[in-house]
Amino acid sequence: MDVAIFSSTRYERQYLDEANKAEQHKLHYFDVLLEMDTVGLAAGFGAVCIFVNDRADAQVLDALRKGGTGLLALRCTGFNNVDLKAAARLGLKVVRVVTYSPNSVAEHAVALLLAINRKVHRAYNRTRDSNFSLDGLTGFDLCGKTVAVVGTGKIGCVFAKIMLGFGCKVIGFDPYPSAEFKALGLDYAKPGEIAEMADIISLHCPLTPATYHIINSETLERAKPGAILINTSRGGLIDTEAVIEALKSGKLGGLGIDVYEQEADLFFRDLSSDIISDDVFQRLVSFPNVIVTGHQAYLTREALTTICETTLKSITAFEKNEPLQNEVKDE
What's the length of the chain? Answer: 331
Per the CB < 8 A criterion, the answer to whether 18 and 286 are in contact is no
pLDDT tens-place string over residues 226-258 = 999 999 999 999 999 999 999 999 999 999 999
Distance between CA 230 and CA 111 in Å, rounded? Answer: 10
- The half-sphere exposure of 307 on its side-chain side, counting CA atoms within 13 A, is 24
Cα–Cα distance, 262 to 225 (Å, whole number): 27
Q: Does the fold of domain 102-292 match that of domain 2-100+300-319?
A: yes
Tell me, what's the pLDDT at 24?
97
Which of 91, 135, 142, 136 lies closest to 114 in space, CA to CA?
142
Q: In the predicted model, is pLDDT for residue 3 greater than 80?
A: yes
Given a cut of 90, is residue 101 above it in pLDDT? no
User: Annotated active-site positions, please?
Assistant: 234, 263, 295
pLDDT at 147: 98
pLDDT in the model for residue 191: 76
Q: What does the H/E/C string look like for 194-244? A: HHHHCCEEEECCCCCCCCCCCECHHHHHHCCCCEEEEECCCHHHECHHHHH
Bridge partners, 185 (sequence order): none
Q: Helices (DSSP H) in the chain: which residue ranges?
A: 10-23, 58-66, 84-90, 102-117, 120-128, 154-165, 179-183, 193-197, 217-222, 240-249, 279-285, 301-319
How large is the average pLDDT for residues 61-89? 96
State pLDDT tens for residues 174-185.
999 999 999 999
Sign of the CA dihedral 176, 182, 186, 187? Answer: positive
Closest CA to 290 of 241, 239, 256: 256
pLDDT at 331 over 80: no
Q: What is the predicted pLDDT for the residue at 192?
A: 79
Where in the chain are the domains?
2-100+300-319, 102-292
The CATH architecture of the domain made up of 102-292 is 3-Layer(aba) Sandwich (3.40)
Q: Are 97 and 310 in contact (CB under 8 A)?
A: yes
The CATH superfamily assigned to 2-100+300-319 is NAD(P)-binding Rossmann-like Domain (3.40.50.720)
- What gap in Å lies between CA 168 and CA 39, rounded to an integer? 48
Please answer whether residues 106 and 302 qualify as being in contact, where contact means their C-beta atoms are separated by less than 8 angstroms: no
What tens digit of pLDDT does each residue of 160-218 get? 999 999 999 999 999 999 999 999 999 999 877 888 999 999 999 999 999 999 999 99
Burial of 50 (0-12, 13-18, 19+ CB in 10 A): buried
Neighbouring-strand partners of residue 2 = 26
Summarize pLDDT for 108-154 with one digit per residue, the tens.
Answer: 999 999 999 999 999 999 999 999 999 999 999 999 999 999 999 99
